[in-house]
A and B are shown apart, each in its own frame.
Chain A
């Protein structure tokens, strides 16, 4: 079994152990969503600081999704890679999308009424961050926080 996981580490990086999804359409959905994320993070034994970072990141992304994408779908997954366990969150909306992702990832950039540290700040809080967007089709953001990351 040992040899097997080692071999798979290089080919398939992440395995999904458990998943759950939640629809976010209004501001009041945010608190239950945060609680759900917390539940999963607690279940895999994530420490308090990393939990707080993850939930704060989730909170930022959900707000973006509500504000710019008019709400959307969220996916909560328990994933593992090698000996590490973690939580993967995916936020997808069918909003207008982001024309210039590079710009949006710069500290201090904003199109809305905010501080402009949303995306880069969020990236600093998590272990892995991936954003895909097509103008007119929507935006998908994926983050992973490893239990000890």
Chain B
């Protein structure tokens, strides 16, 4: 399990607690981790936590969050729980899935 902790206090409102489930260090997994980090830095700088769970090492965790496909990104906070599957290459779909309004969405 790899944890990347950036924000100090996960309990503050508007904080994103994200969990990424992967199965082994496959190219698909690595792409997903890289894509996720980039999206978070771009849109959620300073207010997110990412937890990466490798199901090959912790298979018992798949049942709890109802994981079928990998990679699966789960937004645990703020509620409700949201899921995005895939290598997260489509940034727009990730933002829709996580319910984040892109910063460049508002035309200036």
Interaction A to B: no
List residues of chain B with CB under 8 Å of any chain A CB: none
List residues of chain A with CB under 8 Å of any chain B CB: none
